[in-house]
Amino acid sequence: MAQPKYLTGDTAALNEFLDKFDTFLLDCDGVLWSGDHVFEGVPETIKLLQSKGKRTVFVTNNSTKSRAEYHAKLTSKGIPCQVEDIFGSSYSAAIYIARILKLEPPRNKVFVLGEAGIEIELKSEGIEYVGGTDPAYRKLGMAPEDFEGIASGATLDPNVGVVLAGLDFHVNYYKLAHAHGYLRGNHVSAEDKATAKDGGKALFLATNIDSTLPMYHNFFPGAGSASVVALSNMIGEQPLALGKPSQAMLDAVEGKFQLDRARTCMIGDRLNTDIQFGVQGNLGGTLAVLTGVNKKEDWEKPDAPAVPAYYVDGLSDLRGAASS
Amino acid sequence: MAQPKYLTGDTAALNEFLDKFDTFLLDCDGVLWSGDHVFEGVPETIKLLQSKGKRTVFVTNNSTKSRAEYHAKLTSKGIPCQVEDIFGSSYSAAIYIARILKLEPPRNKVFVLGEAGIEIELKSEGIEYVGGTDPAYRKLGMAPEDFEGIASGATLDPNVGVVLAGLDFHVNYYKLAHAHGYLRGNHVSAEDKATAKDGGKALFLATNIDSTLPMYHNFFPGAGSASVVALSNMIGEQPLALGKPSQAMLDAVEGKFQLDRARTCMIGDRLNTDIQFGVQGNLGGTLAVLTGVNKKEDWEKPDAPAVPAYYVDGLSDLRGAASS
């Protein structure tokens, strides 16, 4: 396989790279920032791309914020953008549930393992949910009646048809036990189980499966670890994940912008989400940055999930291109 | 592979089975009880075995209770036993840390993801720990200073050398983030990292990796799902697990009782822990019960982790043997 081309400090290569693309899809965590710390030169780099007539679209797997909240964060950090330029995994999941799954009543509610971002996007698509940020689920420990209620289904909502797992800074045993109860179909009566699709078990969806979350120049538990893999391990099944590398997210971006995939480049720090997303989507290019999860040695491994076409040390190295 | 012999209701086969063994190692969850509900006839069955001169040893992966607490539970349920007849995965882990690892100061503390059972066993072996049931870690959500302190290591204990993950009904993001920080070595200074074994990363141990926990005639998140696999997924490494099927646990039982392995039988409900434990340990026999996690179809699969030599519907079916 061709080795990625290193662009940092190579003005001619940078110019050639930028000329190839009209649209840049940018991951956020690990590319623009680490938590609340924006990497040096990032706002100027985005402005440079925009000044060259490039479209910049922000495609993030972080489900904790809605598009509106991302818009507020990006603009507060000096990165110009519109709400329409933002695609989050919460939005992608809400679109999938509302427009593809089209759950039939009565089991058309979603049990959420996640933060407000998911709730806001579900609401915007008119989807009912339980769990999420409801203080009733922000509980530590299990009382005997908690075990009994989940086991019998008495304290579960009979109308749940989907468990949607995302990044949840408030994840706990109580929430995991509820999600597991729904995935087992504990909430569906014996009579209904006999006729229900999948025996009444809730469908298992995930906003994303990122194992870690780059924050504060370090790494923290990602959605994939703190909620998704825990549930997968209990039920022995993988979820349908709606964030990158799922092509459902790229289809949504393309649907909105009538993308020319050949003239679109995905920029990200993670091989098994960002770079794989671009490669599987047949985008014209993929650019890896080394400010996040993956490093050069990761794509040099024989079992690398995907190899980028280009790489730079950090996003702001794109400023090394000649000004037009 | 030979198919397991079904003993329920077959007096001759039951007699022959019992005659083969002097010692029975019994799993607890899913064999004796489901949560607080003892299966019908179990106390009488244990008494029957003891009346026939058999030694009954209780070998459990459930790390939430210490041996003393298990002893109290067993006797309160009418099951006669001594504290010495009980081997829990917490005890097994404490023995391993104290007697095999023999951690050198200063990094000789254990960060615990688990309940009081682990703490009691660590204390009994003179091992210092942090985390566990400390109310300071029973916290939901993450403040900016929590992220900062873990990332920089400022709020981590520099003397932690091991992360021990077990079943924790109070598991939460805050605890997982701490455990992950220790596993990454965030708590070790840059100077010490250079000379430290494994770059100062804490060693990753687990009491057990059971994916689910049988309780209230249903299943709940097990240690393997709610804490162990979450951490494994973050760091891309498996822990050393000290519960069944780890032979460290069998060595401990053998060390205490001078077992004749050929005349010892493991009784359990789970193929990948109990039955595998007995098969790998070259015990004379393994008996599966169908009152817990695994069913007949599980060992009929080509990729079954282990196949028992015998099975009964429930432990109390052993009462069908002729009285001696």
C-alpha span between B322 and B131 (Å, rounded)? 51
A322, two tokens: 């000649």
Residue B313 annotated as part of some ligand binding site:
no
Asked if the C-beta of B205 comes within 8 angstroms of chain A's C-beta atoms, the answer is: no
The fraction of chain A above a pLDDT of 70, given in percent, is 99
DSSP state of A319: G
Residue B10 annotated as part of some ligand binding site:
no
Task: Report whether pLDDT(A252) > 90.
Answer: no
Task: Report whether pLDDT(A1) > 80.
Answer: no
Could you tell me if A64 and A166 are in contact, meaning their C-beta atoms sit under 8 angstroms apart?
yes
C-alpha span between B262 and B23 (Å, rounded)? 10
- Sheet strands (E) in B138-254: 160-165, 203-206, 212-215, 218-221, 240-241
Task: Report whether pLDDT(A324) > 60.
Answer: no
Look up residue B27 and give its amino acid.
D
User: Which distant-in-sequence residues (6+ apart) come within 8 Å of A119 by Cβ?
Assistant: A112, A129, A132, A133
Could you tell me if B164 and B114 are in contact, meaning their C-beta atoms sit under 8 angstroms apart?
yes
Question: Of A33-37, A55-59, B148-152, B176-180, where does mean pLDDT reach its minimum?
Answer: A33-37
What is the structure's pLDDT at B270? 95
Of residues B210, B287, B219, B212, the one with CA closest to residue B242? B210
Could you tell me if A293 and A214 are in contact, meaning their C-beta atoms sit under 8 angstroms apart?
yes
- Cβ separation A221–B212 shorter than 8 A: no
Task: Report whether pLDDT(A2) > 80.
Answer: no
What is the structure's pLDDT at B115? 96
Tally Cβ neighbours within 10 Å of residue B99: 10
Please give, rounded to a whole number of angstroms, the shortest distance from the CA of B165 to a CA of chain A: 14
- Cβ separation A219–B234 shorter than 8 A: yes
What is the structure's pLDDT at B324? 54
Q: Which residues of chain B have pLDDT under 50?
A: none
| pLDDT, average across residues A42-55 | 97
The pLDDT tens digits of the residues spanning A110-165 come to 999 999 999 999 999 999 999 999 999 999 999 999 999 999 999 999 999 999 99
Residue ranges of domains in chain B, CATH in brackets: 5-61+244-320 (3.40.50.1000), 90-241 (3.40.50.1000)
Task: Report whether pLDDT(A313) > 80.
Answer: yes
Number of alpha helices (DSSP H) and beta strands (DSSP E) in chain A: 13, 16
The pLDDT tens digits of the residues spanning B3-57 come to 899 999 999 999 999 999 999 999 999 999 998 899 999 999 999 999 999 999 9
- Cβ separation A218–B172 shorter than 8 A: no
The pLDDT tens digits of the residues spanning A266-310 come to 999 999 999 999 999 999 999 999 999 999 999 999 999 999 999
Asked if the C-beta of A36 comes within 8 angstroms of chain B's C-beta atoms, the answer is: yes
User: Which distant-in-sequence residues (6+ apart) come within 8 Å of B171 by Cβ?
Assistant: A172, A173, A176, B113, B226, B227
C-alpha span between A33 and A125 (Å, rounded)? 29
Please give, rounded to a whole number of angstroms, the shortest distance from the CA of A269 to a CA of chain B: 16
Contacts of A274-279 with C-beta under 8 Å, sequence gap 24+, read A274/A27, A274/A244, A274/A245, A275/A299, A275/A305, A275/A306, A275/A307, A275/A308, A276/A244, A276/A245, A276/A305, A276/A306, A277/A59, A277/A244, A277/A245, A277/A246, A277/A247, A277/A249, A277/A250, A278/A25, A278/A306, A278/A308, A279/A306, A279/A307
DSSP state of B36: T
A198, two tokens: 């999948």
What is the structure's pLDDT at B223? 94
- Cβ separation A225–B212 shorter than 8 A: no
- How does A272-294 read in b/e, with b if 16+ C-beta sit within 10 Å? bbbbbbbbebebbbbbbbbbbbb
| pLDDT, average across residues A215-234 | 95
C-alpha span between B130 and A36 (Å, rounded)? 29
Asked if the C-beta of A220 comes within 8 angstroms of chain B's C-beta atoms, the answer is: yes
Could you tell me if A94 and A125 are in contact, meaning their C-beta atoms sit under 8 angstroms apart?
yes
Cβ contacts from A onto B, under 8 A: 126
Rounded to 10 deg, the angle between the B116-124 and B67-76 helix axes is 120
Could you tell me if B164 and B118 are in contact, meaning their C-beta atoms sit under 8 angstroms apart?
yes
Asked if the C-beta of A170 comes within 8 angstroms of chain B's C-beta atoms, the answer is: yes
Residue A317 annotated as part of some ligand binding site:
no
Q: How many CA atoms lie within 13 A of A300 on its CB side?
A: 5
Of residues B180, B224, B219, the one with CA closest to residue B202? B180
Of B144, B152, B225, the CB nearest to A230: B225
What is the structure's pLDDT at A77? 96
What is the structure's pLDDT at A251? 86
Please give, rounded to a whole number of angstroms, the shortest distance from the CA of A188 to a CA of chain B: 14
User: Which distant-in-sequence residues (6+ apart) come within 8 Å of A242 by Cβ?
Assistant: A89, A92, A93, A96, A205, A206, A207, A208, A248, A249
What is the structure's pLDDT at B12? 96
Residue B123 annotated as part of some ligand binding site:
no
